[in-house]
């Protein structure tokens, strides 16, 4: 699937069928591994897509978009799977066993570390840091929120996150540098807000915080990947960033292992990872494949019915209201990709500024993951580290409101 999606993205469009069918076969083979909740979600999303398609047919839609249903999100799935290879060359923990001194310095080191490592190895970094800091106990407020926010804020700029891939796909025409102009300042604001909230909190602040011994030397992996992606994007401006990231994630991993050991060892390691660890991505495969079918159905329905919003255009007010709605849905438990798929189709007639629309989608995904008590991130915090559902919401409420205000200011400046 990864290979075929890269080849199709480079212009060999016949490989689209290969990519889509590979994803479908993988889903069928991995279906027994899935949990009951995941199966219910999958069936629900597919049913919604088929219902929308049936309504569209009844109103004159005369196509059967089989290829679109198979490949709507194939680049996202390939991105997620390809990025997982980077775990093979990323070592987060310092070689020394000395833990940083407790206090503000340790807090800053930990937040910085999880933020940058999460930008490449995603949820794996959260688990590594969380397991080390929990010491088989519940995580306190300072530790839990620093991990949640350090992780989720990386989605605002990292091209290796599913969030970024989704936003680039459903806000067509967005250029990564243009999006960074909007999202990076908000990311910095979120990190500073997190530090200030704990620094000036009355009790349980940073004085007794014990951090994670971060291996900052390993940050060359994120740095190398960003440089490679930007260089490839400059050399191949017409190729999707998702394609470039998918290809480079596997190639850079193999090249680094070959340089460290040998080419034969690189082949063996990549092959072994593909057999033993890549199937663990079944959850993401099921989610994005099924929502791709839903997106195809919604797209057909919108094309046929052409719903009109009673607004003059994609004004700052409309953009902020859209952000408020998407963020509220995310906090309420609606997965960001579901609301993004629907919103993308509905606001398309308004000809929104691509970078601003992508920014709104990114913020709803990133902030919703932190503030939503039943988001995937917070469900992991609850099940693995004993953080209560109520705490996931209340501990991050001020942060959620603050990020919404900050994002609204960015929108006003961008569209003003």
pLDDT, tens digit (0-9, with 9 covering 90-100), for 273-291 = 989 888 888 887 887 888 7
> Regarding predicted confidence, which is higher, 216 or 334?
334
Torsion angle, alpha carbons of 376, 90, 141, 326, to 10: -40
- What mean pLDDT value characterizes the chain? 83
Q: What is the mean pLDDT of residues 116-124?
A: 75
Phi, psi angle pair for 214, to nearest 5°: -80, 140
Q: How far apart (Å, rounded) are the C-alpha atoms in residues 176 and 120? A: 16
Q: What is the mean pLDDT of residues 298-314?
A: 74
* Lowest-pLDDT choice from 226-235, 387-396, 405-414: 226-235
Task: Give the model's pLDDT for residue 286.
Answer: 85
In this prediction the pTM is 0.73
CB atoms within 10 A of CB 41: 19
Token code pair at residue 181: 């102009």
Q: Is the dihedral of CA 334, 41, 288, 383 positive or negative?
A: positive
Residue matched to tokens 């859209």:
322
Task: Give the model's pLDDT for residue 355.
Answer: 92
In percent, how much of the chain has pLDDT > 90? 20
Select the highest-mean-pLDDT range: 70-74, 205-209, 314-318, 348-352.
314-318
Residues 179-209 as b or e (16 or more Cβ within 10 Å = b): bbebbeebbebbbebbbebbeeeeeebbeeb
Q: How far apart (Å, rounded) are the C-alpha atoms in residues 181 and 353? A: 14
- Cβ proximity of 361 and 164 under 8 Å: no
Element spanning 76, H or E = helix 74-83
- Cβ proximity of 94 and 128 under 8 Å: no
pLDDT band at 399 (very low <50, low <70, confident <90, very high): very high
Q: What is the mean pLDDT of residues 25-41?
A: 87
Residue matched to tokens 């929308």:
52
């Amino acid at each position: 699937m990864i290979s075929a999606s890269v080849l199709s993205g480079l212009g060999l469009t016949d490989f689209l069928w290969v990519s889509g069918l590979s994803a479908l076969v993988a889903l069928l083979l991995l279906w027994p591994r899935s949990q009951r909740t995941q199966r219910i979600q999958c069936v629900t999303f597919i049913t919604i897509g088929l219902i929308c398609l049936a309504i569209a047919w009844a109103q004159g839609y005369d196509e059967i978009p089989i290829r679109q249903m198979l490949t709507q999100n194939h680049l996202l799935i390939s991105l997620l799977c390809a990025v997982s290879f980077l775990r093979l060359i990323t070592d987060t923990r310092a070689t020394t066993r000395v833990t940083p001194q407790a206090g503000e310095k340790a807090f800053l080191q930990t937040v910085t570390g999880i933020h940058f490592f999460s930008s490449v190895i995603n949820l794996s970094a959260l688990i590594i840091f969380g397991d080390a800091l929990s010491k088989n106990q519940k995580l306190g407020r300072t530790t839990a929120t620093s991990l949640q926010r350090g992780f989720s804020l990386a989605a605002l700029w990292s091209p290796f996150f599913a969030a970024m891939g989704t936003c680039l796909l459903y806000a067509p025409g967005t250029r990564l540098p243009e999006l960074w102009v909007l999202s990076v300042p908000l990311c910095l604001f979120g990190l500073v807000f997190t530090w200030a909230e704990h620094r000036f909190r009355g009790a349980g602040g940073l004085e007794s915080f014990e951090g994670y011994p971060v291996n900052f030397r390993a940050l060359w992996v994120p740095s190398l990947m960003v440089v490679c992606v930007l260089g490839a994007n400059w050399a191949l401006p017409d190729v999707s960033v998702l394609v470039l990231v998918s290809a480079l994630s596997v190639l850079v991993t193999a090249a680094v292992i070959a340089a460290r050991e040998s080419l034969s060892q690189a082949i063996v390691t990549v092959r072994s990872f593909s057999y033993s660890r890549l199937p663990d991505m079944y959850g993401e495969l099921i989610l994005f494949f099924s929502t791709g079918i839903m997106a195809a159905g919604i797209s057909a329905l919108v094309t046929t019915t052409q719903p009109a919003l009673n607004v003059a255009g994609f004004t700052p007010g409309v953009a902020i209201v859209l952000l408020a709605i998407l963020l509220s849905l995310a906090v309420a438990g609606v997965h960001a990709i579901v609301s993004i798929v629907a919103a993308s189709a509905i606001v398309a007639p308004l000809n929104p500024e691509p970078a601003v629309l992508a920014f709104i989608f990114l913020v709803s995904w990133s902030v919703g993951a932190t503030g939503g008590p039943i988001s995937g991130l917070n469900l992991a915090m609850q099940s693995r580290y004993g953080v209560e559902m109520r705490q996931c919401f209340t501990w991050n409420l001020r942060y959620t409101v603050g990020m919404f205000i900050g994002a609204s200011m960015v929108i006003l400046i961008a569209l003003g």
